[in-house]
Amino acid sequence: MIRILLVFMLSFTLITAKSQESTDATNNPDTFMKGDMLLSMDIQAVKMAKPVSDAITWEGVPFRAGCEYLFYNKSKLFLSTGLNAKYLRHQPGDGNNYGVFGIAVPINIHFILVPRLDTYVGYKIGYYFDGYKPEMESTIDGYEGMYSDGYLGIRYFLSPNFAFYAELSADAMRLYGGISYKF
């Protein structure tokens, strides 16, 4: 699965970069404009903290996707909001695998200080839906419920519409890597 995603990302990067070489927007130092929409997807690259609780014995690699709308810009400062979805699997002490689906609303502050390079800080609040339902109420119930997360990120635009990014999340100190497409 990771190999297929890597081949797809590399192919898409080469095609997008070649097709956008001669456009005027390539020379534009401002990567964003008010009203732009970004579609993004990423996968966890590194997790630097322990599980949510001792009852969780195994956790799969989270996959995230989302959209982001840039609604305010002032010189090199941009604000955006959108909708993010996250999916992962986990295994509590009972030995079974359960899926977790989360949906969140982020707010981001972008700083464009260097052409094609977007640095941002953000916060999101959301809700996890967990397939794990304990038989006893006193049992820890995995991920179900509200969650929030703060993060820092950096995005590099290879072309006016296509970018790679890395994001460090305060949620268990996860490092994500992904791609974005602007339209």
Structural domains of the chain ordered from first start: 2-182 (2.40.160.20)
Cα torsion 32, 33, 34, 40 to 10°: value is -30
57-73 per-position pLDDT tens digit: 567 788 999 999 999 98
C-alpha distances in Å from residue 115, one per residue of 58, 119, 128, 178: 41, 11, 37, 20
Query: Tell me: the pLDDT tens digits for 84-128?
Result: 999 988 776 666 778 889 999 999 999 988 888 999 999 999 998
Separation of alpha carbons 92 and 144, rounded Å: 13
| 181 vs 8 pLDDT, higher one | 181
Q: In this structure, what token pair is assigned to residue 71?
A: 């609604």
User: CA-based angle 20:83:11, to the nearest 5?
Assistant: 30
